[in-house]
Amino acid sequence: MTEPKKLFIKTYGCQMNVYDSERMAEALGGSGYVETASPNDADMILLNTCHIREKAAEKVYSELGRYKGLKAAKPDLKIGVAGCVAQAEGQEIMRRQPLVDLVVGPQSYHRLPEMEAKTRTGVKALDTDFPEEDKFERLKARPKAARGPTAFLTVQEGCDKFCAFCVVPYTRGAEVSRPASQVLDEARDLVERGVREITLLGQNVNAYHGADGQGGDWSLARLIEGLAEVDGLERIRYTTSHPNDMGDDLIAAHAECAKLMPYLHLPVQAGSDRILKRMNRAHTAESYLKLIERLRAARPDLHLSGDFIVGFPEETEADFQATLDLIRAVGYGTAFSFKYSTRPGTPAAERDQVPEDVKSDRLQRLQALITEQQRATQDAMVGREVSVLFEKEGRLPGQMVGKSDYLHAVHVADAGTAAGEIARVRIVESGPNSLAGVLV
Ligand code: SAH
Ligand code: SF4
Ligand code: F3S
């Protein structure tokens, strides 16, 4: 028997890249690859990259540079670049870094097996097409390996929103939804393999409108309803949503669907209407706050998370204060914040930039406020009962770690449960990054 070839995948960026890496590993499994945790014994190294901010993209080149020695020692080693940097600058990668054998974009990675075979004949392979055929149909045959209790499932890809700062519409292309039956099949398959919680993914997941096979469409709310009927699937989440696509039925689902978890990532980016307009967000601070009100009316204990950009071109101190005001008005469970990063080819790149030190100062102030809110929401959990899906053993003997309905990390001593089980837990302590609880 021939030894299996070893594949090392390093994943950057968002959850969709995590999902794509799993699918790429499965696809290459058919070419005789098994995954390895180290690049040192790999026969193929694949970097699944992110282009969202300048730093993220630059990481790729420095990482590739580090593989020079490996490649010199093992000329058979194949090095590939996948993901959004591959899509955005595939040709340039090939030119700048001659040790790269293969470049594949996010919409064409079902062609990886043929591309890998091509590199084995000594020919470089580049594919950054947006092909006609359905990537997911071609990837259908998943090996039936056991899985952990949580999984991502991409249901929608691409974005038609064109926020002025963002590369995603260019790297991921136009919005496409997977047919509902395809999603349901994949969910059933995941559940058979041990998954209890599925997070539905899309760059704009709440714009989902998947074909129902009868000439109609399913909204995301309808899809969640369908998934809730899958026996053994206990929890459903979705990310990332755009405020303008929060339909009435989706808001209602937060009141009606017990399996839909009370946590929502709903990026707003900024709190100044002038900046929101310049960002091409097509919503105002007020419309966002109204939406939050409706969501909380449907699900009063909903935990909210968001994304914020500070130092967007032309942002003044007053604009920034409006963002802090919005954050104070919402009260986030957690949030992600970034300094605006100039992305070539996006409209905002051409505008008056905010100096770096001003950006840094604003980021610090914004993060201090978020940390305060995060701390307060977390501390408020003490004494409350939550349900916890256990994911793995903790550091201490007998300890188990899992996630609450609100996505807090919770650890329980002497849990006496296995990964994949859900238990009622009373929170007794709030630490910096996690909660401690006892079984009820
Ligand atoms: N589709 C998602 C987000 C995709 S990118 C959405 O619309 O919410 C994730 C986050 O990265 C964004 O929400 C934004 O806050 C941040 N981001 C995107 N482009 C950026 C840029 N050029 N500079 C800094 N942050 C950026
Ligand atoms: Fe980017 Fe805006 Fe689309 Fe989100 S909605 S992926 S921020 S363009
Ligand atoms: Fe990055 Fe592409 Fe995701 S740019 S955030 S990996 S969609």
Final residue before a domain boundary, out of 342, 361, 380? 380
Final residue before a domain boundary, out of 380, 404, 421? 380
The predicted structure's pLDDT at residue 100 = 97
Whole-structure pTM value: 0.96
For the segment 412-437, what is each residue's pLDDT rounded down to a tens digit?
A: 998 888 999 999 999 999 998 899 99
Q: In what order do the strands lie in the sheet with 33-35?
A: 33-35, 5-11, 44-49, 78-82, 102-104, 125-127
CATH code of residue 279? 3.30.750.200
SS3 138: helix
- 278 falls within a domain: yes
Q: Ligand 1 atom 24: the closest Cα is on which residue?
A: 340
Q: How far is the CA of 119 from the centre of ligand 2 (A)?
A: 34
Q: How many domains does the chain have?
A: 4
- 333 falls within a domain: yes
Q: How far is the CA of 194 from the centre of ligand 3 (A)?
A: 28
Q: Ligand 3 atom 7: the closest Cα is on which residue?
A: 168
- 140 falls within a domain: no
Question: Do 237 and 278 sit in the same domain of this protein?
Answer: no
pLDDT surpasses 70 at 142: no
Q: What is the mean pLDDT of the chain?
A: 95
The shares of helix, strand and coil residues in the chain, as percent rounded to the nearest 5, are 40, 25, 40
The predicted structure's pLDDT at residue 141 = 62
SS3 273: helix
For the segment 37-54, what is each residue's pLDDT rounded down to a tens digit?
A: 999 999 999 999 999 999
The predicted structure's pLDDT at residue 433 = 87
Question: Do 160 and 106 sit in the same domain of this protein?
Answer: no
- 132 falls within a domain: no
Domain housing 39: 5-127
- 277 falls within a domain: yes
Residue 21: CB atoms within 10 Å: 22
Mean pLDDT computed over 111-120: 96
For the segment 314-363, what is each residue's pLDDT rounded down to a tens digit?
A: 999 999 999 999 999 999 999 999 999 999 999 999 999 999 999 999 99
pLDDT surpasses 70 at 391: yes
pLDDT surpasses 80 at 144: no
The set of protein residues with a Cβ atom below 6 angstroms from ligand 1 is 52-53, 165-166, 168, 203-204, 240, 242, 267, 269, 307, 309, 338, 340-341, 343
The predicted structure's pLDDT at residue 99 = 95
* Amino acid at the residue 266: L
| CA dihedral of residues 223, 225, 227, 231 (deg, nearest 10) | -170
Question: Do 267 and 257 sit in the same domain of this protein?
Answer: no
- 139 falls within a domain: no
Of all ligands present, the nearest one to the C-alpha of 336 is 1
- 138 falls within a domain: no
